[in-house]
Amino acid sequence: METETVDFLIIGSGVAGLRAAIELAPHGNVLVATKDMLSESSTEYAQGGIAVALSDEDKVGIHFEDTLNAGDGLCNEDAVKILVEEGPERILELISWGAEFDKEGTKLDFTIEAAHSRKRVLHARGDSTGKELERVLLNKVRSFPSVKKYPFAFTVDLIIKDGECWGAYILKDRKMTAVIARATILCTGGAGQIFARTTNPMVATGDGMAIAFRAGAQLEDMEFIQFHPTSLYSQYAPQFLLSEAMRGEGAILRNINKEPFMKNYHRDAELAPRDIVSRAIISEMVKTESSHVYLDMTHLEKDFVRKRFPQIYSTCLRYNVDITNELIPVSPAAHYIMGGVKTDINGVANIRGLYAAGEVACTGVHGANRLASNSLLEGLVYGARTGRAALEERNALRITHYDTAQYAPAYHTIPEHDEIRMTLRKLMWDRVGIIRCGESLKEAREKLSEWAFILDKVFYTRRELELKNMLTVAMMITEAASLRKGSVGAHYRSDFPEKGKDWKKHIALSREDDRIKHSLT
Residues carrying an active site annotation: 274
- C-beta closer to ligand SIN: residue 116 or 468: 116
Residue 39 makes contact with ligand SIN by CB under 6 A: no
Contacts of 394 (CB under 8 A, 6+ apart): 7, 27, 28, 182, 183
Q: Which listed range, 243-251, 438-446, 454-462, 510-518, lies at the site for ligand SIN (CB under 6 A)?
A: 243-251
* CB of 356 vs ligand SIN, minimal distance in Å: 19
Pairing of strands 2-11, 30-33: parallel
**Choice from 111, 177, 243, 386 touching ligand SIN (CB under 6 A):** 243
Q: Please check whether residue 326 is in contact with residue 157, taking contact to mean a CB–CB distance below 8 angstroms.
A: no
**Choice from 157, 244, 393, 479 touching ligand SIN (CB under 6 A):** 244
Beta bridge partner(s), residue 316: none
Q: Which listed range, 87-95, 240-248, 378-386, 426-434, lies at the site for ligand SIN (CB under 6 A)?
A: 240-248
Let me know how long the chain is: 521
Q: Please check whether residue 104 is in contact with residue 98, taking contact to mean a CB–CB distance below 8 angstroms.
A: no
- C-beta closer to ligand SIN: residue 134 or 244: 244
Contacts of 400 (CB under 8 A, 6+ apart): none
**Choice from 13, 39, 47, 155 touching ligand SIN (CB under 6 A):** 47
| Rounded distance between C-alpha atoms, residue 239 and residue 232, angstroms | 6
* CB of 335 vs ligand SIN, minimal distance in Å: 6
- C-beta closer to ligand SIN: residue 121 or 147: 121
* CB of 254 vs ligand SIN, minimal distance in Å: 19
DSSP 28: S
Residue 245 makes contact with ligand SIN by CB under 6 A: yes
HSE-up of residue 121 (Cα within 13 Å, Cβ side): 30
* CB of 500 vs ligand SIN, minimal distance in Å: 27
| Among the listed residues 477, 472, 487, the one whose alpha carbon sits nearest the alpha carbon of residue 435 | 487
| Rounded distance between C-alpha atoms, residue 294 and residue 164, angstroms | 51
- C-beta closer to ligand SIN: residue 23 or 66: 66
Pairing of strands 175-186, 354-356: parallel
Residue 67 makes contact with ligand SIN by CB under 6 A: no
* CB of 111 vs ligand SIN, minimal distance in Å: 10
| Rounded distance between C-alpha atoms, residue 53 and residue 58, angstroms | 6
Give ∠ CA 505-188-242 in degrees, rounded to 5.
Answer: 85
- C-beta closer to ligand SIN: residue 112 or 476: 112
Q: Which listed range, 102-110, 239-247, 257-265, 291-299, lies at the site for ligand SIN (CB under 6 A)?
A: 239-247
* CB of 371 vs ligand SIN, minimal distance in Å: 8
Task: Give the contact letters, 311-350, x = binds to ligand SIN (CB under 6 A), - = no.
Answer: ------------------------x---------------
Single-letter amino acid code for the residue at 311: Q
- C-beta closer to ligand SIN: residue 177 or 375: 375
Q: Which listed range, 242-250, 475-483, 498-506, 508-516, lies at the site for ligand SIN (CB under 6 A)?
A: 242-250
Contacts of 267 (CB under 8 A, 6+ apart): none
- C-beta closer to ligand SIN: residue 244 or 393: 244
| Among the listed residues 148, 128, 126, the one whose alpha carbon sits nearest the alpha carbon of residue 136 | 128
* CB of 365 vs ligand SIN, minimal distance in Å: 13
* CB of 243 vs ligand SIN, minimal distance in Å: 3
Q: Measure CA of the first residue to CA of the last residue in the chain; give whole Å.
A: 41
Q: Residues 84 to 143: which contact ligand SIN by CB under 6 A?
A: none
Q: Residues 272 to 291: which contact ligand SIN by CB under 6 A?
A: none
> Three-state DSSP class for 281?
helix
Q: Please check whether residue 170 is in contact with residue 177, taking contact to mean a CB–CB distance below 8 angstroms.
A: yes
Q: Residues 365 to 404: which contact ligand SIN by CB under 6 A?
A: 372-373, 375
- C-beta closer to ligand SIN: residue 140 or 335: 335
List the 361-362 sheet strands across, edge first. Answer: 361-362, 340-342, 219-220, 507-512, 515-520
Contacts of 31 (CB under 8 A, 6+ apart): 4, 6, 8, 9, 10, 147, 148, 149, 150, 179, 181
**Choice from 12, 14, 17, 48 touching ligand SIN (CB under 6 A):** 48
| Among the listed residues 183, 201, 184, the one whose alpha carbon sits nearest the alpha carbon of residue 192 | 201
Q: Which ranges in 73-128 belong to alpha helices (H)?
A: 77-96
Count of residues in contact with ligand SIN, rule CB under 6 A: 9
Rg (CA), the chain: 22
Q: Which residue is nearest to ligand SIN (CB)?
A: 48
- C-beta closer to ligand SIN: residue 166 or 224: 224
Give the residues lining the site for ligand SIN (CB under 6 A).
Answer: 47-48, 243-245, 335, 372-373, 375
